[in-house]
A and B are shown apart, each in its own frame.
Chain A
Amino acid sequence: MYDCIVIGGGPAGLAAASAAWEQGLRKILLAERDVELGGILNQCIHNGFGLHYFKEELTGPEYAARFAEKLRETGVEVRMDTMVLDLKGAPGRREVHMVSRDKGYCIEEARSVILAMGCRERTRGAISIPGTRPAGVFTAGAAQRYVNMEGWLPGERIVILGSGDIGLIMARRLTLEGAKVLACVELMPYSGGLTRNIVQCLQDYNIPLYLSHTVTEIRGKDRVEQVVVSQVDGRRNPIPGTEMVFDCDTLLLSVGLIPENELSRQAGAEMDPRTNGPRVAENMESISLSGVFACGNVAHVHDLVDFVTEESLRAGAAAAHYVQSQGWESADGEGPVLPVQPGPGVSYVLPQAVRPAEMDKTCTLSFRVSQVFGPCKIILKAGEAQIASFPRERLAPGEMERIPLPKVLLERAQAQSVSVSVEEVSAQ
């Protein structure tokens, strides 16, 4: 029986496994379906990773290598080329079903489990564009892998739908490799990516960004030949007469990421429809599955790997604590569980619940706003009472925001719930 099984060897899994080891667990297994550790970072060859955590600017593979190296120095057992298929069992005795070429199908038992499976990209089916179904439509992440690892260009004249970070990064990458990126088209009136990526990936290369526009038709027989782009109104409906036709051979989709949670659902984890991840408490433990923790993109989509690392270190340490204190004996925990809810202006908050009895001095609340805000304040409430507020110059849905929830304030308020909301501050 393992103390802990970590599912996924991306930055989340690597940090969680290291932390669990550092906190004293000695029987840890990490299962990764790929042939190397590092997850999505291996294809993110651009720099911009590690500014918070290492205080230096690293590329994705360099960031991954540091954590893979750290893990190698521990006694964590790593199984590569191993796909986890199912998670069953009861608190204190979870069963992880996995399959690999050399070991075949096997079931390993563990006191605790850490979900770190990352996320996958939304595809065209999920957003259904009218028109033909020619070759030449790729997700931006797939294109990233082709260009950066396999070494082939998906096309020569490219339109990108969606302005998430991967799309922006790929606009620059493909331009540098000699392709012509004609346009980046975004449905919303604001970009879904980091502002710095708009500047250094689009503006640096004079690639136009069409906000409040979408692709309304894909044309072409065997291969994409044209895409039609139209402006949309306030309700996101295309406005007739605004059509622009681009002659191109490739359409990249950068229309969002979805946490990879087949396993979590199968295991019966209670899910948050807003994050598409399991609902977790302050220590990243699933609210419904005792001893099952989630961290990184499987819990909610992150834009910065540094925060993935930080969250995952906490999850790993919490799993160690769970095993050492035999958390399955008191599976329901002691003391109240307060739901944490998104208020006006906020689309989700993680964790979805806090247990004051289990909290450290503070707990970080991560959230995203539901629209772009200029000068504003973040309001933290316990019950109906405001317990803290945080001024901000600007908030955008593309950038995750974090605030501390201090335990003393929470206890003093004696409330039954916590909420986070954002209010515009009128200019004086």
Chain B
Amino acid sequence: MKDLICIVCPKGCHLQVDEEHDYAVSGFGCPRGIAYGKAELTAPTRTITSTVRCRGGLYPRCPVKTSKPVPKASIPAVMEALNGVSLTAPVSLGQVVLADVAGTGADIQTTRSMQQR
């Protein structure tokens, strides 16, 4: 048995996951907790949010995120890849700035529009 806190929504349910019985989950407030409990012990993932350089924009950094959750172990590689990205304003919201980041299958997309300064 493993105790976990579900991070899918702010409720933060206290889950118990039974590794011996096919990762059976109890303590969830909704079905998303079941999926989370199992994934967290088998293949944990996170959505990564960060920023990339942006030239000529209202601000020098433009926020971005992974288009879907990526394996937790790939976080350093994703951050490394973001260091190499540089945008030029104007930028629109949801624009893909890096496809298949670090071989995760997720894209990096902008989370705001950035007007020119």
A149 touching B12 in the complex, CB below 8 Å, given contacts A61-B112, A200-B46: no
Residues 8-35 of A contacting B (Cβ, < 8 Å): 35
Residues of A within 8 A of B59 (CB): 149-151
Are B63 and A45 touching (Cβ within 8 A)?
Answer: yes
Q: Mark B42-80, 1 if CB is under 8 A from A, else 0.
A: 000011111101000011110101000000100100010
* Residue of B with least CB distance to A57: B47
Contacts of A199 in B (CB 8 A): 5, 7, 12
> Is B39 an interface position by the 8 A CB rule?
no
Q: Find out whether the CB atom of A59 lies under 8 angstroms from the CB atom of B49.
A: yes
Chain B CB within 10 A, most for which of A35, A147, A195: A195
Inside 8 A of B14's CB, which chain A residues have their CB? 393-394
Q: How far apart are the CA atoms of A57 and B49 in the complex, in Å?
A: 12
- B79's nearest neighbour on chain A, judged by CB, is A176
Bound state CA distance, A198 and B5, in angstroms?
10
- Would B50 and A204 count as touching, CB distance under 8 A? no
- Which of the 9-residue segments A46-54, A116-124, A362-370 touches chain B? A46-54
Q: Report the Cα distance A198→B79, complex, angstroms.
A: 21
User: Is the CB–CB distance between B79 and A149 below 8 Å?
Assistant: no
Chain A residue contacts of B79, Cβ below 8 A: 176-177
Interchain CB contact under 8 A, A62 and B93:
yes
B75 and A149 contact, CB distance less than 8 A: no
Contact A150 to B60, CB < 8 A, known contacts A42-B112, A45-B111, A195-B12 = yes
Indicate if A107 sits at the interface (CB-CB under 8 A). Answer: no
Choose among B12, B49, B61 the residue that contacts A150 (Cβ–Cβ < 8 A). B61
**A61 neighbours in B (Cβ, 8 Å):** 63, 93, 111-112
A148 interface residue, CB < 8 Å from B?
A: yes
- Segment 187-230 of A: residues with Cβ below 8 Å from B: 194-196, 198-200, 204
15 more A-B residue pairs beyond the given contacts A35-B58, A65-B113, with a C-beta to C-beta distance below 8 A: A51-B10, A59-B63, A61-B112, A62-B111, A149-B59, A149-B61, A151-B51, A151-B53, A176-B48, A196-B12, A198-B5, A200-B46, A204-B72, A393-B14, A399-B12
Pick 22 A–B contacts, CB within 8 A, sort by A: A36-B58, A45-B49, A45-B50, A45-B51, A45-B63, A51-B9, A59-B63, A59-B111, A61-B112, A65-B93, A65-B112, A65-B113, A148-B61, A148-B63, A176-B75, A194-B12, A195-B5, A196-B6, A196-B12, A199-B5, A200-B7, A204-B72
Interface residues of A (CB under 8 A from B): 35-36, 42, 45-48, 51, 57, 59, 61-62, 65, 147-151, 176-177, 194-196, 198-200, 204, 303-304, 393-394, 399
What are the 8 closest A-B residue pairs judged by CB atoms, nearest first?
A195-B12, A61-B112, A45-B63, A196-B7, A151-B61, A151-B60, A59-B111, A149-B59
